[in-house]
């Protein structure tokens, strides 16, 4: 019991407070957005907020259990847990579809989405796998096994279909990157076939994942906002096209990075870093430009298809409708917001923004609390993510560290995609905002994920490896 007595003193309070404040804000927003005058009680289980309260209660209870259970079992049982959730993901494919997706296991309204829990089990197994690797001696097999661990659930999720969660599984790539898993063996295998070339490693191979990420994000962003025209109230008459805006932003960031390395970079690194910045700027600018160029040369039906996928074009599922409404709700919040329970566009009752209590819950929050509120929320998430990275780096056990990074990246993905969706930067792929969105599976899985992290961290000093 000594361990548990130490739990409270070793708990990471900053993270815990951020985590709990998000839960509270989320609950308050669900209550506001789904408010029904006939059942004003927050424990009214006929209403969504009542159910959410129930889920929160269950989550806290699970949290308590996690705090009581010894941490070692997660590492020991990572494989069975992984296989168990994997089998759930298979079973779910034989369930009757709800809203076009076979994502639910359960009876009646009380169902769970195994995909949400699969993230945790994948994180656990990946942590176990990578922590056992000799990172300096990687082969194609080690890379492919790592990728395979995350690909198995990802593919099953894709069959549901659930594009959002599929994308989230790619967040583990970042963890692999941090841990030094590279795609170099694969790249080298191809590059070294060229006669006369025999490389030991490549920069692209080592940094393959973030580079891939940048390319994808930039391409998607260019497609989404490239044709949008921005005008500024304080600069009347000036209209900037989105594609121009991206280039301006890139230039600004390059300048910022340059100033940074002039100021803090060591003399030795300066010239190579400057080269990387210049090269990176040119690369990204030409990438963005060529994406818009290629897109403009596409045939109409091809454009339509891409625009449909990105939610730019009205399609039968009304993704453009959602996105447009969501942006109107966020934008109309103004600097100070409309006030709690005053969201006129995004309340569930008005139903202008569908899914405003789940995937689009950022809308009512931003509409009610305005710029300062929504930026405050962004800051809490950023703080939480930075704190988790900080926690990860202080772990003695690499299992703990990798798991913490997994949590950080999953949360980061959810946050970035969900908020991005609400402000028109990201295609509408339905994934919940962690600790905020209504929904039992998402609340429970994120809480379990977080409690596990807190528990692991609280016992970091007991673990020797």
Partner 1 sequence: MNLENRKYVIIAFILLVGFIYTSRLFYMQVVDDTWVLRAQEIAEKRKEIIPPRGVMFDRKGRKIVSNKTYYNLMMTEEKITHLDTVAFAKLIGWTPIMVRERFKEIVKGEGVYYNKSSGRHTSNYQKMRAYPFLKELTLDEITKILVHIANFPGFKEEVTSMRTYPYANGANILGYLNEANREDIESKEINADHFYRPGSNIGRSGIERFYEKELRGRKGIRYVVTSAMNNAIESYANGKYDTVAKQAIPLKLGMDIVMQAYGEKLMKGKKGCIVAIEPATGEIITMVSSPSYDPNLLVGRRNISLNYPKLARDKDIPLFPRPLQAEYPPGSIFKLVQSLIGMQEGVVSENAGFACIKSMVGCHNHPNATCIAEAVQYSCNPYFYQLVRKVIQQKVRKNLYADAEYGLNKWHRYMSSFGLGKELEVDITGQNGGLIPNSKYYDKWYGHHQWGFSTIRSISIGQGEIKLTPLQMANIAVIIANKGWYYSPHFVKSIGKKGPKANFRKKHKTLVESKYFAPVIEGMRRVVNESGGTAKSARLEDIIICGKTGTVQNPHGQDHSVFIAFAPRDNPKIAIAVFVENAGAGGAVAAPIASLMIEKYLKGKVTKEKESRLNKAEEPNIIH
C-alpha to C-alpha distance for 388 and 401, rounded to whole angstroms: 10
The strand pair at 110-112 and 229-232 is best described as unpaired
C-alpha to C-alpha distance for 253 and 101, rounded to whole angstroms: 40
Name which position in 16, 84, 283, 371 contacts partner 1 (CB under 8 A): 371
Q: How would you label 53-79 residue by residue, b for 16+ Cβ within 10 Å and e otherwise?
A: bebbeebeebbeebbeeebeebbeebe
Distances in whole angstroms, Cα of residue 307 to Cα of each of 94, 240, 254, 294, 302: 31, 21, 30, 14, 9
Tokens 């993510």 correspond to 385
Q: How would you label 88-111 residue by residue, b for 16+ Cβ within 10 Å and e otherwise?
A: bbeebeebeeeeebbbbbeeeeeb
* 333 contacts partner 1 (rule: CB under 8 A): yes
Cβ proximity to partner 1: between 77 and 321 the closer is 321
Least distance in angstroms from the C-beta of 232 to partner 1: 6
C-alpha to C-alpha distance for 404 and 398, rounded to whole angstroms: 10
Angle at 297 between CA 292 and CA 300, to 5 degrees: 110
Q: Please provide residue 98's backbone torsions phi and psi, each rounded to the nearest 5 degrees.
A: -120, 125
Least distance in angstroms from the C-beta of 375 to partner 1: 6
* 375 contacts partner 1 (rule: CB under 8 A): yes
**Torsion angle, alpha carbons of 111, 116, 121, 122, to 10:** 140
Name which position in 54, 386, 462, 463 contacts partner 1 (CB under 8 A): 386
* 179 contacts partner 1 (rule: CB under 8 A): yes
How many CA within 13 A on the CB side of residue 189?
A: 10
- Which 199-258 residues touch partner 1, going by CB under 8 A? 206-207, 210, 213, 230-234, 249, 253
Name which position in 382, 394, 396, 461 contacts partner 1 (CB under 8 A): 382
Name which position in 7, 60, 254, 389 contacts partner 1 (CB under 8 A): 389
Cβ proximity to partner 1: between 260 and 293 the closer is 260
- Which 400-439 residues touch partner 1, going by CB under 8 A? 405, 408-409, 412, 415-416, 419-420, 423, 425
Name which position in 46, 244, 271, 344 contacts partner 1 (CB under 8 A): 344
Name which position in 168, 277, 291, 385 contacts partner 1 (CB under 8 A): 385
- Which 76-135 residues touch partner 1, going by CB under 8 A? 135
Helix or strand (DSSP H, E) at 134: none
* 332 contacts partner 1 (rule: CB under 8 A): yes
C-alpha to C-alpha distance for 169 and 152, rounded to whole angstroms: 10
The residue ranges of DSSP E strands in 99-150, in sequence order, are: 105-107, 110-112
* 327 contacts partner 1 (rule: CB under 8 A): yes
Least distance in angstroms from the C-beta of 426 to partner 1: 10
Cβ proximity to partner 1: between 72 and 393 the closer is 393
User: What residues make contact with partner 1 under the rule CB under 8 A?
Assistant: 135, 174, 177-180, 206-207, 210, 213, 230-234, 249, 253, 324-325, 327-335, 344-345, 349-352, 366-367, 370-371, 374-375, 378-379, 381-382, 385-386, 389, 392-393, 405, 408-409, 412, 415-416, 419-420, 423, 425
């Amino acid at each position: 019991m000594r361990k548990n007595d130490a739990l409270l003193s070793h708990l990471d309070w900053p993270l815990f407070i951020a985590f709990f404040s998000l839960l509270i804000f989320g609950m308050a927003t669900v209550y506001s957005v789904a408010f029904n005058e006939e059942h004003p009680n927050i424990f009214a289980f006929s209403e969504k907020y009542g159910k959410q309260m129930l889920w929160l209660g269950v989550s806290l209870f699970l949290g308590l259990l996690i705090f009581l259970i010894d941490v070692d079992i997660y590492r020991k049982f990572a494989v069975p847990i992984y296989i168990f959730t994997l089998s759930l993901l298979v079973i779910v494919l034989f369930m009757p579809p709800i809203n076009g997706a076979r994502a639910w296991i359960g009876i009646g309204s009380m169902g769970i989405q195994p995909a949400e829990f699969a993230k945790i089990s994948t994180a656990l197994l990946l942590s176990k796998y990578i922590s056992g690797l000799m990172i300096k001696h990687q082969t194609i097999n080690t890379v492919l096994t790592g990728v395979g661990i995350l690909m198995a659930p990802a593919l099953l999720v894709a069959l549901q279909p659930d594009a959002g969660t599929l994308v989230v599984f790619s967040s583990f790539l970042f963890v692999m990157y941090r841990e030094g898993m590279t795609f170099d063996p694969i790249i080298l295998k191809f590059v070294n076939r060229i006669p006369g070339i025999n490389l030991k490693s490549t920069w692209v191979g080592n940094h393959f994942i973030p580079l891939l990420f940048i390319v994808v994000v930039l391409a998607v962003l260019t497609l989404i906002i490239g044709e949008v025209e921005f005008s500024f109230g304080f600069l009347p008459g000036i209209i900037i096209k989105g594609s121009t805006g991206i280039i301006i932003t890139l230039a600004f960031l390059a300048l910022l990075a340059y100033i940074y390395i002039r100021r803090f970079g060591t003399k030795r690194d300066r010239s190579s870093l400057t080269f990387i910045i210049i090269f990176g700027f040119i690369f990204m600018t030409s990438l963005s430009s060529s994406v818009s160029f290629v897109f403009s040369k596409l045939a109409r039906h091809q454009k339509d298809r891409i625009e449909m996928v990105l939610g730019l074009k009205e399609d039968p599922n009304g993704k453009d409708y959602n996105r447009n409404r969501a942006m109107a709700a966020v934008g109309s919040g103004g600097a100070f917001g409309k006030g709690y329970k005053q969201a006129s566009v995004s309340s569930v009752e008005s139903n202008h923004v569908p899914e405003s209590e789940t995937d689009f819950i950022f809308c009512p929050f931003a509409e009610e609390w305005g710029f300062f509120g929504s930026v405050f929320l962004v800051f809490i998430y950023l703080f939480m993510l930075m704190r988790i990275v900080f926690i990860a780096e202080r772990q003695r056990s690499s299992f703990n560290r990798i798991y913490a990074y997994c949590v950080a990246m999953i949360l980061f993905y959810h946050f970035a995609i969900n908020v991005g969706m609400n402000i028109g930067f990201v295609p509408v792929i339905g994934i919940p905002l962690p600790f905020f969105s209504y929904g039992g599976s998402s609340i429970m899985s994120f809480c379990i994920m977080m409690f596990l992290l807190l528990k692991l961290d609280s016992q970091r000093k007991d673990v020797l490896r």
